[in-house]
Structure 1
């Protein structure tokens, strides 16, 4: 026998699969994923703590006038007005959900199954516009209805997407008409 063949015959074949090493890598990867998830959750809680100055959300009044408009769709979250990446998580405003919007003379009623409902009084509404994005959601130009409202000393943008996107422009017009008439009444009241 040649020395090379003799050497090959003396060596044992190596194990094809190193099970303890493979299991160790899988456990390590799962622990790393769990750590990243835990850190993200802690960051979300910390953001909520930092936003502790946001007052509790108003509830809808028991007596309301008939609905002017209704919308069914998705709620994509709320941000600080003008800063579309600064998500507000306090009081559940950062939680995405289905939404049923109702616009009345008293304001905007936001009903969210599985999340906190809230009400925006007419006096708190500032404007509405169609935009392309809000924290965590970017669509085509005009794909989101953004409603700007004041809550305490903070201006908030809330993003909604209707199941029927064509009706979002009507909503923006209706809300802007409400805020303009409110401004006109205030101006007339102070002029007298």
Structure 2
């Protein structure tokens, strides 16, 4: 074997090893998170959305830890999606993956961030929604396709949160 062939073989072995370790890590993360409750499904007759925006569902992470991706129930899968705000909750309708529906009583905060696991963009480029499910806090990121939609989506979700429980959300959230 000449030097070039040896280098190619070693490189291929290294690539296979790295991919294998990544797959093992993903599987172990799924096993650790298998006890997480699945988000509720969209109500049978959801009605008309108050606001909807096209974009990309980025990821769901554990609350406050923007690198701790939640893999259970497909919440860690990036996908093209539509974020639709209804009077009863928020729906991320993902193309090629399951819907993620968050009832308004589970929503706790919405803000703009620079990034989270798997996606980093310009300052305030992601709409990040904080929510709870079975006493566990999560953050879900969404990147709107059009910049103008970001402000409107933030306002619609903020209005939904403020309407959900004014005792836990006493201050209005300003759009920057």
Normalised to the residue count of structure 1, the TM-score between the two structures is: 0.82
The reply on whether 1:89 has 2:71 as its aligned counterpart is: yes
Instruction: Encode CA deviations 1:86-130: one digit per residue, 9 max, x unaligned.
Output: 111111111111011111112111111112212111111111111
Instruction: Report deviation, 1:185.
Output: 7.7
Instruction: Report deviation, 1:132.
Output: 0.8
Instruction: Measure, in 1, the Cα distance between the counterparts of 2:132 and 2:50.
Output: 21
Q: Which has the higher helix share?
A: 1
Instruction: Measure, in 2, the Cα distance between the counterparts of 1:108 and 1:183.
Output: 15
Gaps of 5+ in 2: 170-176
Superposition RMSD in Å: 1.8
- The aligned residue for residue 78 of structure 1 is 60
- The aligned residue for residue 110 of structure 1 is 92
Instruction: Report deviation, 1:140.
Output: 1.4
**Structure of larger gyration radius:** 1
**1:140 aligned counterpart, secondary structure:** coil
The reply on whether 1:122 has 2:104 as its aligned counterpart is: yes
Instruction: Measure, in 2, the Cα distance between the counterparts of 1:184 and 1:140.
Output: 32
Instruction: Report deviation, 1:28.
Output: 2.2
Bigger relative contact order (CA 8 A; separation at least 6):
2
Gaps of 5+ in 1: 1-18, 188-192
Q: 1:99 aligns with which of 71, 81, 87?
A: 81
Instruction: Report deviation, 1:156.
Output: 0.7
Instruction: Measure, in 1, the Cα distance between the counterparts of 2:108 and 2:47.
Output: 21
Q: Which runs of 4+ in 1 moved over 6 A?
A: none
Instruction: Encode CA deviations 1:42-72: one digit per residue, 9 max, x unaligned.
Output: 1011111111221123211111122100111
